[in-house]
Amino acid sequence: MQYILLADRWLLAVIFLAAGLAKVKRTEAFAQAVSRYGIAPGPLVAPFAAVLPFVELALGLALAAGALPTVAG
């Protein structure tokens, strides 16, 4: 059971890291997607699009390192 939880934690870390890196590489396209989907109100689109990729990267790194995996997950 312990190995399954470890594998799940690493898989989630890879997903967060891949998603965060993809958004960092294409910040403007991500901001347009946020705007089109209406995820955030108009004035908050740019800050949301700028912060979310780094939150995903931080969570991915925290999961990979095993730092507070319950919170990061």
**Which tens digit of pLDDT belongs to each residue from 1-35?**
888 988 988 999 999 999 999 999 999 999 999 99
Give pLDDT tens digits for 45-72: 999 999 999 999 999 999 988 877 777 6
| Calpha distance 70→73 (Å, rounded) | 5
Radius of gyration, CA atoms only, the chain: 14
**pTM for the structure as a whole:** 0.83
The answer to whether residue 44 scores a pLDDT higher than 90 is yes
Say how far apart CA 10 and CA 46 lie, in whole Å.
Answer: 30
Q: Where are the domains of the chain?
A: 2-64
